[in-house]
Amino acid sequence: MIDSEKLVHRVSAHIEKNLRGNTPFQTTSDFISYIAYKESQKKSDTESE
């Protein structure tokens, strides 16, 4: 099984390394929350059709 704590840390490190601070988000968790929000919007859009 995937260790989600490790995964989150690796993804966070990867994002921060690649963006080098060039991001509109204060923290990685803000970014992840934004992605989750966008994904939930997509799902509700397809269900309403």
**pLDDT tens-digit profile of 27-37?**
777 878 888 88
- Structure tokens, 20: 């080098």
* Long-range CB contacts (within 8 A, 24+) of 42-48: none
Q: Which tokens sit at 21?
A: 């601070």
| DSSP structure string for 12-48 | HHHHHHHHTT-SS-SSHHHHHHHHHHHHHHHHHHHHH
Residue-wise pLDDT for 6-48, tens only, equals 888 888 788 777 776 666 777 777 878 888 888 888 777 666 5
- In the block, tokens 């204060």 appear at 26
